[in-house]
C-alpha cells in the first residue's frame, strides 16, 4: 500500500492524460511558487503598486526644488475715462489697444520646519508599506497554492486507494459468485459486497470531482492555460522537517510577519504625519525672485505706448497664524492613533503567538500520527492477506472479510491524510511566521 501511494506521481505522468485532452504537467511546490511569482495576477498587481509607490518618492522630492511660474497675457485694452471725483465732467482717455503682460516668478523653499523632509520620508514609508504588502500577498498566494496543491495530491492518492479497493472487491465478488455456484456462499453475501462496491465507486467519483476542482484552482492561481492538468510531485519537494523550537519561531514571526511589519510602518507614518503637523507652527522661509514685462504703461497719464520691465529678489516669510489654535487638534489625533496602533500590534503579536503554538503542536502531532499510520497500513495489509486466504479456504466468515477490507481501506485513507497533514502544518508554520515567501 505504501509503495503504491508513493508511486502515484510516476504512474500519473506515464499514463494520465488531462480530462480536457492536454498532457499532464508534473509540478513540485517550488515550481508552483516560481510560476506564481511570475504569473499570478495578485502578485503582479502588488508589484505594480510597489512601482507606483517608488515613483511617489520622486514626486515628494520635487518639493525641494524651486517653484517657477510664468504667465503671458495678450489682451485688447479699451479706452479709459477720466472724470471728477463727483463723477461729473467725464472725458475719454485714448489708450493703446494692444496690451501684453509677461511675468516670471521663482520661489525656493529654505526652511519649512521639517515638513518637506518628513513628507519625503513619508513617501519612503509608503514604498516600504507597498513592499511589505507584496510580501504579504506572496505569502497568501503561496498558502492558497500549497493548500490546493496538497489537497490535489491527497485526492490523487485517495483515487489510487479507491482503485485498489475496487479492484480487490471486484475480485472478491467474482470468487464469491464461484463459491455461490458451489453452494458455499449465500446470494445475500454477494449482494452486500456489490453494495460496498457501489459505495466505493461513488466515493471514487466524488474524489475525481474534487481533483478537478483543486486542479482548476491551481490553474487559475498560476495563470496557466485552461485545461492544464497538474500532477503534484511530492517526492521532488523532499523531506520537510521543522527546524527550531517555539521560541525561535516566535522570534522569526516578530521579525518577518507582514502583519506586524504593516502595523509598525503605520506607526512610523503616523509619527511623520505628526511632524508635518508640528511644522505648521513654524514660519516657512524661502527665496523669491521674479521679473515682469508689461505694456503699455498705463500708470502714467497720458499712457505710454511702451513696454515696462521690472525685477525683484528677496526673502519670503509665510506663517499660518491660525495654526496656533487648529494644529493642536491634528497633533492630538496622531497621538491617539499611535496609541491605537500600539494596542493593535500587541493584539496581533499575541494572536500570532497563539497560532504558532497551535500549529507547532499540530505539526508534532501529525509527525507522530504519520509513523503510527504507516505501521497501521502494514498491519492492515498483513491482516487482509491472512483473512483473505482463510476466507478462500472457508476458514473465515464473510463479516471477517468485510472488516479486514474496511480496515485496510481506512488505514490507507488515514495514511494519505497523515502525510498531507504533516506537509500542510509545515507550510502553515512558515505562513504564520511570515517566511513562506522565502521558501
Across the chain, which distance is largest between two alpha carbons, in Å?
141
Q: For residue 156, which phi and psi values (nearest 5 degrees)?
A: -70, -40
Query: Quick one: cell of 291?
Result: 521679473
Q: What is the DSSP string of 321-337?
A: TTHHHHHHHHHHHHHHH
Question: Quick one: pLDDT at residue 22?
Answer: 56
Helix, strand or coil, per DSSP, at residue 295: strand
Question: Quick one: pLDDT at residue 438?
Answer: 85
Question: Quick one: pLDDT at residue 8?
Answer: 38
Helix, strand or coil, per DSSP, at residue 319: coil
For 160-215, how does the pLDDT look when each residue is reduced to its tens digit (9 = 90+)?
A: 888 888 887 888 788 888 877 877 777 887 888 889 889 989 999 999 999 999 99
Q: What is the CATH number of the domain that holds 176?
A: 1.20.1600.10
Q: Which residues in 383-418 are b (16+ Cβ under 10 Å) and which e?
A: bbeebbeebeeeebebebbbebbebbbebbbbbbbb
Question: Quick one: pLDDT at residue 78?
Answer: 86
Question: Quick one: pLDDT at residue 298?
Answer: 82
Which residue segment(s) compose the domain that 78 sits in?
A: 2-438
- Please count the other Cβ atoms lying within 10 Å of the Cβ belonging to residue 95: 16
Residue 53 CA to residue 14 CA, distance in Å, equals 48
For the chain, how many structural domains are there in total?
1
For the chain, 439 residues long, give each residue's pLDDT as a single digit of tens: 444 344 433 333 333 444 444 568 899 998 999 999 999 999 999 999 999 999 999 999 999 999 999 999 999 988 888 888 888 888 888 888 898 999 999 999 999 888 999 999 999 999 999 999 999 999 999 999 999 999 999 899 888 888 888 887 888 788 888 877 877 777 887 888 889 889 989 999 999 999 999 999 999 999 988 888 999 988 787 777 777 778 888 888 999 999 999 999 999 999 999 999 999 899 999 999 999 999 888 877 778 888 999 999 999 999 888 888 888 898 999 999 999 999 999 999 999 999 999 999 999 898 898 889 888 888 888 888 888 888 777 766 666 777 787 788 778 778 878 888 888 999 999 999 999 988 8
For 400-418, how does the pLDDT look when each residue is reduced to its tens digit (9 = 90+)?
A: 777 787 788 778 778 878 8
Question: Quick one: pLDDT at residue 409?
Answer: 77
Residue 219 CA to residue 147 CA, distance in Å, equals 13
Strands 24-27 and 229-232: parallel
**Apex CA 157: angle with CA 152 and CA 158, to 5°?**
95
CA distances from 354 to 347, 362, 429 (A): 11, 12, 12
For 297-335, how does the pLDDT look when each residue is reduced to its tens digit (9 = 90+)?
A: 887 777 888 899 999 999 999 988 888 888 889 899 999
Question: Quick one: pLDDT at residue 59?
Answer: 94
Query: Quick one: cell of 65?
Result: 526644488
Question: Quick one: pLDDT at residue 286?
Answer: 94
Residue 408 CA to residue 363 CA, distance in Å, equals 25
Residue 195 CA to residue 179 CA, distance in Å, equals 18
Residue 171 CA to residue 178 CA, distance in Å, equals 11
Question: Quick one: pLDDT at residue 397?
Answer: 66
Nearest to 359 by CA among 427, 436, 418: 427
Amino acid at each position: 500500500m505504501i509503495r503504491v501511494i508513493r508511486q502515484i506521481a510516476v504512474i500519473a505522468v506515464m499514463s494520465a492524460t488531462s480530462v480536457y485532452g492536454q498532457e499532464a504537467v508534473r509540478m513540485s511546490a517550488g515550481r508552483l511558487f516560481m510560476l506564481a511569482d511570475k504569473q499570478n495576477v495578485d502578485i503582479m498587481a502588488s508589484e505594480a503598486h510597489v512601482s507606483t509607490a517608488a515613483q511617489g518618492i520622486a514626486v515628494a522630492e520635487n518639493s525641494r526644488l524651486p517653484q517657477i511660474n510664468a504667465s503671458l497675457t495678450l489682451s485688447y485694452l479699451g479706452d479709459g475715462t477720466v472724470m471728477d471725483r463727483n463723477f461729473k465732467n467725464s472725458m475719454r482717455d485714448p489708450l493703446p489697444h494692444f496690451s501684453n503682460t509677461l511675468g516670471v516668478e521663482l520661489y525656493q523653499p529654505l526652511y519649512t520646519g521639517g515638513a518637506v523632509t518628513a513628507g519625503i520620508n513619508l513617501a519612503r514609508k509608503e514604498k516600504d508599506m507597498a513592499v511589505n504588502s507584496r510580501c504579504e500577498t506572496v505569502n497568501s498566494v503561496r498558502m492558497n497554492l500549497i493548500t490546493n496543491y496538497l489537497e490535489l495530491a491527497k485526492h490523487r492518492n485517495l483515487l489510487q486507494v479507491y482503485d485498489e479497493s475496487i479492484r480487490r472487491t471486484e475480485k472478491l465478488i467474482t470468487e464469491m459468485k464461484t463459491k455461490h455456484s458451489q453452494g458455499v456462499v449465500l446470494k445475500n453475501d454477494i449482494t452486500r459486497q456489490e453494495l460496498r462496491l457501489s459505495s466505493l465507486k461513488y466515493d471514487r467519483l466524488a474524489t475525481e470531482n474534487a481533483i478537478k476542482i483543486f486542479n482548476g484552482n491551481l490553474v487559475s492561481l498560476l495563470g496557466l492555460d485552461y485545461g492544464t492538468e497538474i500532477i503534484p510531485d511530492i517526492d521532488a519537494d523532499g523531506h520537510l522537517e521543522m527546524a527550531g523550537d517555539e521560541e525561535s519561531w516566535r522570534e522569526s514571526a516578530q521579525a518577518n510577519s507582514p502583519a506586524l511589519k504593516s502595523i509598525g510602518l503605520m506607526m512610523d507614518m503616523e509619527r511623520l504625519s505628526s511632524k508635518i503637523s508640528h511644522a505648521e507652527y513654524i514660519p516657512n522661509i524661502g527665496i523669491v525672485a521674479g521679473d515682469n514685462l508689461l505694456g503699455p504703461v498705463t500708470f502714467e497719464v497720458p499712457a505710454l505706448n511702451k513696454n515696462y520691465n521690472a525685477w525683484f529678489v528677496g526673502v519670503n516669510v509665510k506663517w499660518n497664524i491660525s495654526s496656533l489654535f487648529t494644529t493642536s487638534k491634528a497633533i492630538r489625533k496622531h497621538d491617539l492613533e499611535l496609541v491605537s496602533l500600539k494596542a493593535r500590534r500587541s493584539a496581533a503579536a499575541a494572536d500570532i503567538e497563539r497560532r504558532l503554538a497551535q500549529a507547532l503542536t499540530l505539526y508534532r502531532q501529525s509527525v507522530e500520527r504519520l509513523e503510527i499510520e504507516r505501521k497501521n497500513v502494514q498491519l492492515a495489509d498483513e491482516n487482509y492477506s491472512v483473512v483473505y486466504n482463510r476466507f478462500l479456504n472457508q476458514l473465515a466468515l464473510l463479516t471477517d472479510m468485510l472488516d479486514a477490507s474496511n480496515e485496510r481501506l481506512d488505514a490507507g485513507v488515514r495514511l494519505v491524510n497523515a502525510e498531507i497533514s504533516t506537509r500542510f502544518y509545515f507550510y502553515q508554520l512558515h505562513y504564520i511566521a511570515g517566511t513562506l515567501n522565502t521558501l
